Amino acid sequence: MAATRQANWSSRWAFIMATVGSAVGLGNIWKFPYEAGQGGGGAFVLIYLVFVFVIGTPMLIAELSIGRRGGLSPIGSMRKVALEEGRNGLWQLIGWSGVIGAFIILSFYSVIGGWTLAYVFKSIMGAFSDITPDGADVLFNALLSDPITLTIWHASFMAMTMGIVMRGVEGGLEKAVTLLMPALFVLLVFLVIYAGFTGAFKQAVVFLLIPDFSKLTFDVGIEALGQSFFSQSIAMGSIMTYGAYLSKDIKVGQAAVTISAADSAVAIMAGLAIFPLVFAYGLDVGGGPGLIFQTLPIAFGKMAFGAVVGALFFGLLLVAAITSSISLLEPGVSYLEHTHGIKRKKASTYAGAAAFLLGILTVLSFNTLSGFTIADMTFFDMFDFLTNNLLMPLGGMFVAMFIGWFMLRKNVMEELAMEDKWFRVWYFLIRFVSPVGVAVVFIWLLYGKFFAG
């Protein structure tokens, strides 16, 4: 069996930046605003925050603890901890689901990261100046319909991800995140202030922060739970892998709360950077997945210094995406490293190249193979469905059940080192609330997918 190595993060700060970097990504800046927009604003945001703290944060604690206790890849850690607890080694399947899920997410995440990269350049080149809504559609569709261009951007994004992961935990991940995360924060604050001066800020604040409960339907709730999982990087290996590099003296409870708070703050700030412009320029808040790529450029095209602001905005999105994609590549790399003794350079190259190749199916889902569907889903839809709707909720539920019901309470307590009263709150949430909450959502999603219209 591979040896457990000692902690790798050089400081608590580096660990927090890395984990916040994993959590903050396309999910916060691309997905969250459009889902909040479609879900009626404040009601979605409120229920989202409840899920983040009641279900997501306890799960982060669980994943970090198991990862740290195992000290291996998610597969190795799950197996090791299960055996130590006198349980079946098959619990390692949770680890497999995470490593494979992260790999699949990476394959399409990189394609969307590639769009972002393309949009940084488009903005700098002045492609948005005076663009009309139709023009913005044409620009976006021209990108999506061109498989070669998409593949080149996808390859560039993946190469950046591999370049960082190759350099190791301290030399690569940690250097990248401690540089990029503060930069992201500064950019975001700048964009919010900018939106505050130029846009309809008050309207945006009301829309995002004052809940209109008539908008709160069951579907909005489900969407919010799915989004909270994705945004907090739950159950797909990233957090468990980062936990394996964590030293014993760091309190996972405090860390998880910090990570969740930062993740939610960034999502809301992204909304506060985007919606003032959406309102000020009379754009559609329910613009959906195209909100960032089709709607926002219209605002950039009209405003003073729009090319610069646009490039900064997409640059911000790019930074957020990269610090997440490295956490999606790392689980697979740590598995190849720990279990098969493959050197990190080689492991990153293999895993990254394979994810790149799989990503080509996502590239083609927008053009050549857009008509090729199974159960009405393109390859991209299938990958998204498989990870978001199956592996993530199931993985999360089993992680919660494992730590809540199959590990000795005393061992869990020792690993968490929490104050007694907080431990009790957490233990209740992870044993009862998380598994039941996820089960409800899971069944609802499957039902919606296959039985309802």
Q: What is the token pair recorded at 253?
A: 């409870």
- 3-state SS track over 249-312: CCCHHHHHHHHHHHHHHHHHHHHHHHHHHHHHCCCCCCCHHHHHHHHHHHHHHHCCCHHHHHHH
> Cα(first)–Cα(last) distance of the chain, in Å?
50
Candidate ranges 19-27, 117-125, 407-415, 440-448; the one touching ligand TRP (CB under 6 A): 19-27
Q: Residues 81-114, buried b or exposed e (16+ Cβ, 10 A)? A: bbeebeeeeebbbbbbbbbbbbbbbbbbbbbbbb
Per-residue interface string for the shown chain with ligand TRP, residues 226-265, x marking contact by CB under 6 A? ----xx-xx-x-x---------------------------
> Least separation, in Å, of the C-beta of 324 and ligand TRP?
4
Judged by DSSP in three states, 171 sits in helix
Is 184 a binding residue for ligand TRP by CB under 6 A? The answer is: no
Is 107 a binding residue for ligand TRP by CB under 6 A? The answer is: no
Amino acid at 25: G
Is 434 a binding residue for ligand TRP by CB under 6 A? The answer is: no
Pick 23 or 164: Cβ nearer ligand TRP: 23
Q: What is the token pair recorded at 331?
A: 């689980």
Cross-strand partners of 374: 377
Is 22 a binding residue for ligand TRP by CB under 6 A? The answer is: yes
> Least separation, in Å, of the C-beta of 282 and ligand TRP?
29
C-alpha to C-alpha distances, 158 to 26, 238, 280, 323, 328, nearest whole angstrom: 15, 17, 36, 12, 11
Is 270 a binding residue for ligand TRP by CB under 6 A? The answer is: no
Is 328 a binding residue for ligand TRP by CB under 6 A? The answer is: yes
Number of H helices, E strands in the chain: 22, 0
Is 27 a binding residue for ligand TRP by CB under 6 A? The answer is: yes
Is 26 a binding residue for ligand TRP by CB under 6 A? The answer is: yes
Out of 16, 23, 47, 252, the only residue in the binding site for ligand TRP (CB under 6 A) is 23
Q: Number of residues interacting with ligand TRP: please give it, by CB under 6 A.
A: 17
Per-residue interface string for the shown chain with ligand TRP, residues 204-233, x marking contact by CB under 6 A? --------------------------xx-x
Pick 65 or 323: Cβ nearer ligand TRP: 323
Pick 385 or 423: Cβ nearer ligand TRP: 385
Pick 301 or 332: Cβ nearer ligand TRP: 332
Which residue's structure tokens are 């925050």? 49
d(CA 112, CA 107): 9
Pick 111 or 418: Cβ nearer ligand TRP: 111
Pick 25 or 437: Cβ nearer ligand TRP: 25
Structure letter (DSSP) for residue 89: G
Pick from 159, 66, 15, 41: which is nearest to 407 by CA?
A: 66
Pick 67 or 199: Cβ nearer ligand TRP: 67
Pick from 207, 194, 205, 188: which is nearest to 303 by CA?
A: 194
Out of 264, 324, 362, 378, the only residue in the binding site for ligand TRP (CB under 6 A) is 324
Is 28 a binding residue for ligand TRP by CB under 6 A? The answer is: yes
d(CA 260, CA 16): 11
Pick 139 or 399: Cβ nearer ligand TRP: 399
Q: Check: CB of residue 170 under 8 Å from CB of residue 10.
A: yes
> Least separation, in Å, of the C-beta of 48 and ligand TRP?
13
Out of 8, 20, 25, 99, the only residue in the binding site for ligand TRP (CB under 6 A) is 25
> Least separation, in Å, of the C-beta of 320 and ligand TRP?
7
Residues in contact with ligand TRP by the rule CB under 6 A = 22-23, 25-28, 102, 105, 230-231, 233-234, 236, 238, 324, 327-328
